[in-house]
Amino acid sequence: MKSISAELKEALANIIDLGPGQATTLPPEFYTSESFVELEKEEIFRKEWICLGRVAEIPKRGDYFTTQLLDEPLIIARGQDDKIRVLSNVCRHRSSVIVEGNGNSKHFVCPYHAWTYANDGQLLRAPYMDQIKGFKVEGSHLPELKTEIWHGFIYVNLDGKAKPLAPRLIGLEPYLKNRHPEDMLVSLVQEEVWPTNWKCLAENYMEGYHLSTVHSKELYDITPTRLCEKILPGEAYTGYKAHYTRKSPQRKPYHPNMTPEERRFSMFFWIYPSHTVGITSNGSASLALQPRGAGEVFNRCILSSYEVDAARPPEARTEGFNKTMDEDRVQLEKIRRGLASRYVERKPLGPPDLEGTVWDMYQYMARMLTPKSARRTRLKRAS
């Protein structure tokens, strides 16, 4: 008897050579299986580029924030040399987590035995360890993880073997070159755990089919479903344009490089596996997602804009966005309950402009989780 993970890998192998016209949903276990999410963690999240945050969160030397990716506590720090590093947040002595939260410091001091590290990871002080023959602080560092900066976003690769990210995203450059997301300032960072599968939240953020129904009050008059336009996908991304209606007011301030046409649509893109970004003419909202289990996802949401009015309280700056996210949360809860039904069937996905991004994600998952030998077997059987 096949395991659920094996059955899902076979289902993915069976779609990898299908075109958008044959796009269907996947079995519900794709979202509900605990064993499958563990497979995703090992085969995708440990091997791919995962977004942790934005450069604008740590603008000054000594700035840092902390997070955790799967079971790895991490420090994201700007060193005294101005370089941004992602460091292990685990003391080299007895494995205590060293620092929590965010701040600015030249040093990180372990709360257990006061081993002290520079913000580039170099061990500076280890009390009483001079009594241990052969021990030296020189040459002892916190492990530094493979890191890449792209348009102001900070990505990390846990196993250190991923191909460079930027070349895999070259197809997005025409949509971003005049928007300059790297110039945006961070207005708010929200960290929450949502009671849903990580793919459900990412798919919801990245398809326009639901805009006119779920967000009938917030978005219908601005970016209705009928005005969605999918872009060509790439190896590591998919995306779509959410065009504005004629009566939608101009969103300001916008970047001076943006053309009049670019100021009339929002650009949504999904960098696989779990970084989704929506860029309007005057700001952006990104979700950096990490699975906690089949039914839980950690969501690090970052709102940014070209100008941040410090006099306005955060809730005023984010009121509209939070309303749409609250509406999504209600819908995702209904999906969570529905996926548990024994009557769920695989059905066709909507037109490419509306749900083609979901199909692109399925294809990505198939490439990541289906061995090439299984694909060859599938093709032989089909012929």
State the average pLDDT over residues 321-327.
Answer: 92
Which helix H or strand E contains 194, and what residues bound it?
A: strand 185-194
Q: What ranges do the domains of the chain cover?
A: 4-47+171-372, 51-150
**Average pLDDT of every residue of the chain:** 93
Out of 69-73, 94-98, 174-178, 372-376, pick the least confident. 372-376
Residue 249's CB: how many other CB atoms inside 10 A? 7
DSSP string covering 15-44? TTT--GGG-B---THHHH-HHHHHHHIIII
Class of domain 51-150: mainly beta
Pairing relation of β-strands 123-125 and 84-88?
A: unpaired
How much is the pTM? 0.93
Share of the chain above pLDDT 90, in %: 84
Out of 42-56, 225-239, 261-275, 315-329, pick the least confident. 315-329
Rg (CA), the chain: 22
Contacts 24+ apart (CB under 8 A), 209-216: 209/350, 209/354, 209/355, 210/331, 211/242, 214/327, 214/328, 214/331, 215/324, 215/327
Give the model's pLDDT for residue 379.
Answer: 46
Both tokens of 312, joined, read: 């306005």
- pLDDT tens profile 134-181: 898 888 999 999 999 999 999 999 999 999 999 999 999 999 999 999
User: Cα dist. 37→70, 161, 341 in Å?
Assistant: 12, 21, 19
Contact call for residues 4 and 28 (beta carbons, < 8 A): no
Share of the chain above pLDDT 70, in %: 95
Q: Could you tell me the fold of the domain covering 4-47+171-372? A: Naphthalene 1,2-dioxygenase Alpha Subunit; Chain A, domain 1 (3.90.380)
Contacting residues for 64 by C-beta, under 8 A, at least 6 apart: 58, 75, 76, 77, 78, 99, 102, 103, 104, 105, 108, 119
Give the model's pLDDT for residue 383.
Answer: 41
